Amino acid sequence: MAIELDLDSVEALALRRLCEAGASLSQAAPVARSIRAAERDGVRSHGLMYLPVYVEHLACGKVDGNAVPVLDRPRAGAVTVDAAHGFAHPAIDLGLPVLLQAAHDCGIAAMTLRRSYNCGVLGHHAERIAEAGLIGLCFTHAPASIAPVGGRLPVIGTNPFALAVPDGAGGARFVLDQSASVVAKSEVILRSRRGEAIPEGWALDAEGRPTRDAAAALKGSMLPAGGAKGFGTGLLVEVLASALAGAIPSREASPFSGSVGGPPATGQCFLAIDPAAFAEGFVDRIAALANAIELQDGARLPGARRLAARARIDSSGVRLDRDLADRLGLHVQSD
């Protein structure tokens, strides 16, 4: 039993639920668009599945639904935005045009956000930078869930980063989006909700022992991808998205799930680089690099699966199972 929605209906549903929960239109609309984009790319963990969490956080005060982000321009190539404990998306929308212009003017520019929140699919923000003809390199930290190798106490979050490279025709040649952990924490949360086991190698329990119990994993530590190298990647993100941005450290941020704690007050850092400021022929070199990957049997560029999902879902729409439809208050008909 399931329900099917087209993408317009996904966005409209998200906007309605967010506004009903107390978010202003200026706060809700960018989040609704991000939910649509996540569903379009098949990234279900950041689509409608996350909507009940957003609604809960508006109700409990983790997100200020009437926040008004504030932008500052301290230097020619520096942009800062105080998200004011609102959603990250409207704060990003406020600062991004200024960041893009600064990068075109200076060759490279950076934007940081503080007192922010979960920004959804990080690769989507990097892709917007690439669509402006710039290299987009984005970082966002999260509440602590990864312990250092050899330790048991989480000190950094899953801390994703994303890279989007322009194709010279108003799009992105490829988008790399990955976290410091073996898998996104949302995947563990989903399995915990369903009572399903997680694969070996994803997480440790609170005692530092390997576990396949999703609930125990949420009380312990996610494992970093590649061991010490993955932890190092997360540490890099922590420096840029938390320390540089003036945001709260991951180890002090309240969880992105549940109602415990106040606003997470996390941060982001976005870099935009104009290839034309450094050397001619960038687009051609990227095309050659991409071709060297794609021409190999069985190989694919980062983000290829999302593009395939995007093409499929644009035409077929989104299919919700009974559990999610019930959580969203939608009526489910028999198949």
Fold classification of 1-60+303-335 (topology level):
Hypothetical Oxidoreductase Yiak; Chain: A, domain 1 (1.10.1530)
Q: What is the pLDDT of residue 334?
A: 52
Q: What is the pLDDT of residue 173?
A: 98
Beta carbons of 185 and 145 less than 8 angstroms apart: yes
187 annotated active-site:
yes
Global pTM value: 0.94
Active-site hit among 11, 34, 39, 46? 46
Q: Which residues pair with 320 in a beta bridge?
A: 3
Q: Is the dihedral of CA 9, 10, 12, 13 positive or negative?
A: positive
Q: What is the pLDDT of residue 2?
A: 78
For the domain 67-172+226-281, what is the CATH code?
Answer: 3.30.1370.60
45 annotated active-site:
yes
Q: What is the pLDDT of residue 1?
A: 61
Parse the chain into domains and list their residue ranges.
1-60+303-335, 67-172+226-281
Instruction: Report residue 144 as tokens.
Output: 């602590």
The model's pLDDT over 290-335, given as tens digits with 9 standing for 90+, comes to 999 999 999 999 999 999 999 999 989 999 988 888 889 886 555 4
Active-site hit among 9, 26, 45, 192? 45
Active-site hit among 24, 26, 131, 187? 187
| Residues of the chain under the 70 pLDDT cut | 1, 331-335
Instruction: Report residue 325 as tokens.
Output: 């439809």
